[in-house]
Amino acid sequence: MSELPIVAKAGQSTLAGFWAVDPDAGIVYSSSSIGATGTGTGRVATWSFTTNFPGVYNVETIFYDDRGGFAVVNSPVIVKPWWSF
């Protein structure tokens, strides 16, 4: 799973990708503390994040499967002002 900081620009959608390995090679579902959800087959889940307010956001993403397996990853999202790029 990736836990690298994600840098975003205020007012623009940012796509983040995380991967989780399901030992049963089943479907991996995900949900996050920012309300994004996703479904990946086997390993990858993505979500998008948009805010107009610069700051550092800690996004918790939970990966789970149909058999009760789960993993949690916390990733900082650094949102910079739109003019700083």
The predicted structure's pLDDT at residue 57: 86
19 contact partners, CB below 8 Å, separation of at least 6: 1, 2, 40, 43, 44, 45
Domains in the chain, CATH or no CATH each: 6-84 (2.60.40.10)
Distance CA 63, CA 40 (A): 10
What is the share, in percent, of the chain residues with pLDDT greater than 90?
A: 6
Cα angle value 58/16/65 (rounded, 5°): 85
What is the share, in percent, of the chain residues with pLDDT greater than 70?
A: 78
Regions in the chain scoring below 50 on pLDDT: 1-2
